Amino acid sequence: MTTAAREKDLIQAADLLLDARRTNTPIADLPKELRPVTLDEAYFVQDRMALAFGAIGGWKVGAPTPEATPSFAPMPAAWMTCNGCEMSGITHRYRGTEAEIAFKLGADLPPRETPYKLDEVVAAIESMHPAIEVLETALIDPKEATKLTSVADMSMHGGFVYGDAVPGWESIDFAQESVTLTIDGSVRVERTGSNTAGDLMRLLPWLATEGASRTEGLKKGDWITTGSWTGNTPATSGALVEARFARAGKVMLRFA
């Protein structure tokens, strides 16, 4: 159980990360005494930061390997936009980009004691979309900071752009699906079956079940984006970024 004194430390950590993002003055890492030492502490900092950005529009969930336990972070609604629309609500400095597959829920998935099964979650999905997650950070170089600090920093979330809904998405074999990421017309990444979680569909019932205590249940209208297919690919100011899947559609954004 987190003590009041430790909560004060974690709130201070959230304030430091928020200030670094808002003022565009990144830090190397949190002071040692304020760094989260458990995943639950990192999630506490995430949630404190998210409060400053308004309503939550959904969740990013992923896993670094097919065997790894997933992790997740909130996505502020103000940082979401459609294909080709203007992205507002955040200043981009880091400009990492990842091609992803996202889902929009058409029904609630409330907390319950029985774990959700995949078919139940699929039945609640309204649509599937190609997406680009924009990565931002309060850190000068996230690779040089402690891992849990990077997780605490909204898991580097900085924006979400979604393409058109893809009809018949249920028939797509994601293990064989290919994707190309281009920046200003230059191909930067080409991969097949490359979602880091392996079977990306395993992430959905996990989030509905294991994340319920923190999400208060997934809700109709929530977006869920399911991890990177292309790795963290940096872009520059003014760059045009396009992710094009073989069957799962295409999506693009332009940085200011």
Label residue 81 exposed, middle or buried (CB < 10 Å: 0-12, 13-18, 19+): middle
Q: Which two tokens stand for residue 190?
A: 């080409």
> Average of pLDDT values for 93-120?
97
Paired with 61 in beta bridges are: 72
pLDDT of the residue at 77 = 96
Please write the tens of the pLDDT for every residue from 33-73: 999 999 999 999 999 999 999 999 999 999 999 999 999 99
One DSSP character per residue, 192-226 reads: ES--TTSSGGGHHHHHHHHTHHHHTSB-TT-EEE-
The tens digit of pLDDT for each residue in 122-175 reads 999 999 999 999 999 999 999 999 999 999 999 999 999 999 999 999 999 999
Please tell me the number of Cα atoms within 13 Å of 216 on its side-chain side: 5
- Total number of domains constituting the chain: 1
Phi, psi at residue 186, to the nearest 5°? -100, 125
- CATH code of 203's domain: 3.90.850.10
Domain range enclosing 176: 4-254
Residue 19 in tokens:
């200030």
Q: Give the whole-angstrom CA distance, residue 8 versus residue 32.
A: 14
Query: The whole model's pTM is what?
Result: 0.96
Q: How many CB atoms lie within 10 A of CB 118?
A: 14
**Arithmetic mean of pLDDT over the chain:** 96
Mean predicted confidence (pLDDT) in 19-28: 96
pLDDT in tens, 181-229: 999 999 999 999 999 999 999 999 999 999 999 999 999 999 999 999 9
Neighbours of 100 (CB within 10 A): 28
Report how far residue 230's alpha carbon sits from residue 212's, in angstroms, rounded to the nearest whole number: 28
Residues 6+ apart with CB under 8 A from 142: 150, 153, 156
Q: What are 191's two structure tokens? A: 């991969």
Percentages of the chain per state (helix, strand, coil), in multiples of 5: 30, 30, 40
Nearest residue to 56 (alpha-carbon basis) of 173, 180, 157: 157
Supply the pLDDT for residue 92.
87
**Given this model, what pLDDT does residue 106 score?**
98
| Mean predicted confidence (pLDDT) in 245-255 | 96
